[in-house]
């Protein structure tokens, strides 16, 4: 057999070769195991290094192109470039202005639409009120029927008042009691009674102090031309009080001056000084004070003070 004839040196050489072959076969497995045992941080570092090396290689290749000298801009090209930049800027500004204008137009349209809708709503409400008025008028009494006046009210037992004053003051009291001219109220407007109150409010004998608050409560609510005339009259009485006083005082002074002799008189050879009669101060007219006080009270109640 060959094993019997193998010498000691050959056997050693064969074992060495077998051992080397075994080691050679084990090396790839060890490398794979080393690769598998690579950590996450090592893998990130390795990939980063690969990218940097790749980027450096690309920069090295493209370097000469980036360093290529730029062509010098001529005067005409520079003008054209600046003109183009200005036109582009102007176009951008025009676009912004147009967008702002469009937004403003939209806001104006929306506001007009809202105003129109509000006006329609008000018109509808006015129509509803106007439609409700005929229904209220249907409940009126026949033309021939007279409105009954309750003579049991305290004002009718006041002997200091005239019959017209009693009815007009009772009319104002009813307005205050029933809350004014509201739907369903028992109070009804009477032009004749209102006219009497407007004319006689300034007379303390017709409208006494006992009923002044009731009449002021009614008169402060009048509207239209009646209110305008009442306010003007009140202001006239309020402003003209001092002027009237001055006129009366001046008239009395003029009368006194007319009766006074110009110079001393000579009687029986003796010179006597003229006797000057003392003129009593003129008391202010009581009616002026009444009108002024009532004018202040009424204007304050009407919010015209």
pLDDT in tens, 235-289: 999 887 545 555 545 545 554 544 444 444 444 555 545 444 443 344 456 789 9
Q: What residues have CB less than 8 Å from 54, skipping those under 6 apart? A: none
pLDDT of 84 > 90? The answer is: yes
- The string of DSSP codes covering the chain is -HHHH--HHHHHHHHHHHHHHHHHHHHHHHHHHHHHT--HHHHHHHHHHHHHHHHHHHHHHHHHHHTSPPPPPPHHHHHHHHHHHHHHHHHHHHHHHHHHHHHHHHHHHHHHHHHHHHHHHHHHHHHHHHHHHHHHHHTPPPTTPPPP--TTSGGGG-TTS-HHHHHHHHHHHHHHHTTSS-TT-S----HHHHHHHHHHTT-TTTS-GGGHHHHHHHHTT--HHHHHHHHHHHHHHHHHHHHHHHHHHHHHHHHHHHHS-SSPEEETTEEEPPPPPPPPPPPPPHHHHHHHHHHHHHHHHHT--
Tell me the C-alpha distance between 283 and 202, whole Å.
20
* Mean pLDDT value of segment 137-157: 63
* Mean pLDDT value of segment 44-72: 74
pLDDT of residue 24: 84
- In the chain, where are the structural domains located? 151-221, 226-258+281-305
As beta bridge partners, residue 272 has 265
Q: What residues have CB less than 8 Å from 188, skipping those under 6 apart? A: 147
Tell me the C-alpha distance between 195 and 145, whole Å.
23
pLDDT of 136 > 80? The answer is: no
Tell me the C-alpha distance between 254 and 248, whole Å.
10
pTM of this structure: 0.41
- The string of DSSP codes covering 206-219 is TS-GGGHHHHHHHH
pLDDT of residue 267: 44
Q: Give the HSE-up count for residue 225: Cα atoms under 13 Å, Cβ half-sphere.
A: 1
Are residues 248 and 282 in contact, defined by beta-carbon separation less than 8 angstroms? yes
pLDDT one-digit tens code per residue, 206-231: 999 999 999 999 999 999 999 999 99
Tell me the C-alpha distance between 197 and 218, whole Å.
9
pLDDT of residue 239: 87
Per-residue pLDDT band at 117 (split at 50, 70, 90): confident
Q: Which residue has the higher pLDDT, 12 or 31?
A: 12
């Amino acid at each position: 057999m060959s094993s019997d004839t193998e010498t000691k040196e050959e056997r050693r050489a064969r074992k060495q070769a077998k051992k080397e072959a075994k080691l050679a076969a084990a090396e790839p497995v060890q490398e794979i195991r080393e690769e598998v045992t690579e950590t996450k941080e090592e893998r990130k570092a390795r990939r980063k290094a690969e990218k940097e090396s790749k980027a450096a290689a690309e920069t090295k290749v493209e370097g000469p192109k980036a360093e290529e000298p730029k062509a010098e801009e001529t005067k005409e090209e520079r003008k054209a470039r600046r003109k183009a930049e200005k036109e582009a800027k102007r176009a951008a500004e025009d676009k912004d202005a147009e967008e702002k204008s469009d937004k403003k137009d939209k806001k104006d349209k929306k506001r007009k639409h809202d105003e129109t809708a509000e006006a329609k709503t008000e018109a509808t409400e006015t129509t509803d009120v106007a439609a409700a008025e005929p229904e209220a008028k249907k409940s009126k009494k026949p033309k021939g029927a007279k409105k009954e006046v309750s003579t049991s009210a305290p004002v009718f037992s006041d002997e200091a008042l005239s019959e017209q004053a009693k009815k007009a003051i009772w009319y104002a009291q009813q307005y205050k009691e029933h809350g004014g001219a509201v739907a369903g109220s028992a109070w009804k407007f009477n032009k004749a009674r209102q006219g009497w109150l407007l004319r006689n409010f300034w007379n303390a004998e017709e409208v006494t102090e006992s009923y002044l608050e009731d009449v002021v409560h009614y008169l402060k609510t009048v509207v239209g031309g009646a209110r305008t005339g009442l306010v003007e009259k009140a202001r006239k009485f309020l402003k003209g009080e001092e002027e009237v006083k001055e006129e009366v005082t001046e008239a009395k002074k003029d009368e006194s001056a007319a009766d006074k002799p110009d110079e001393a008189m000579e009687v029986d050879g003796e010179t006597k000084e003229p006797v000057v009669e003392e003129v009593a101060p003129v008391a202010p007219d009581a009616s002026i004070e009444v009108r002024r006080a009532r004018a202040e009270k009424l204007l304050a109640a009407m919010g015209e003070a």
